[in-house]
Structure 1
């Protein structure tokens, strides 16, 4: 019997750091550019910066530290230029995204049902979607640790702010891109 892949299971301490970053980003409001955070072990930060020790007492395992703004343009290109020193144990990225509904193959209506009009959340039209599919805006926060598999993600929809989605499997490609920033 093989060992199941547990990379979809969130590390609770990493998930806590991701939630902290999302709360910080939420306080700044919507319509913000992507922002990157370094994650350092709180105990290591307290030893390195003794003047912060009292403020960090009892804090979470990981402390997120906001980084300079990412260059404008393609996020993948920006992440390809990022490298971290060994003291950085992980990183978290927060970005706003458009969530499009899935597209069924032509003629395939399996699993598609019409929702009553009052159950459908307010939606816009993404001009980039050639078929004019409705979209919803969200804030996606994803984080990884250098020495642990998987990651943690949180997605807060703009129209449903009190109901965030969580799970390491929400953005596997983004988690992989963040992991490459931690490569030696």
Structure 2
């Protein structure tokens, strides 16, 4: 996987959230150029990367009780924010399981929770104003599950985040 400041920011977000365990609410981060942050707050220089191209994630407070996807429709970032990242936990089912799911949305949730082949995953998506993206997916089980990453592993979340940057 080619390295980049965006990839490093996405991995930092995943590591930060992952260090706090599972069963967490959605998390949202503004992505700002580290150099701009240090220029605005010189006292942070010792805590941040000295790489002039690095990106620093800054966690945002989210109201409780709302779906992240709904909140993202209301967010517009100021120009100083060059990107954003989000972390959500979801249940994934194998493609063949979708055929047997009920039509009722509440029943779908119950069926997914009780499906024997379900996988609980943490999804991370990070996007920049210029269109670049990076994403990561980690399964809850096994405890040492490999982190999968790439530019478009969670396309729906990436598109939701992109809409906040226009």
SS at match of 2:19: helix
Task: Tell me which structure has the larger Cα radius of gyration.
Answer: 1
The TM-score, its normalising length taken from structure 1, stands at 0.75
Which residue in the other structure is 1:181 paired with? Answer: 164
CA distance 1:131–1:33, change in 2 (3 Å): closer
Query: How far apart, in 1, do the equivalents of 2:86 and 2:98 lie?
Result: 32
Query: Equivalent residue of 1:30, what SS?
Result: coil
1:42 corresponding residue in structure 2: 34
Q: Does 1:155 align with 2:147?
A: no
Deviations 1:105-147 (A, max 9, x none): 97xxxxxxxxxxxxxxxxxxx6234994620111111000012
Whether the 8 Å contact between 1:96 and 1:140 is mirrored in structure 2 is yes
Question: 1 or 2, which has the higher helix percentage?
Answer: 2
Q: Quote how far apart the aligned CAs of 1:10 are.
A: 7.0
Matched, 1:51 2:43: yes
Q: Secondary structure at the match of 1:92?
A: strand
Moved over 6 A (4+): none
For the Cα contact (< 8 Å) 2:26–2:87, is it kept in 1?
yes
Give 1:150 shift.
3.5
SS of match in other structure, 1:32: coil
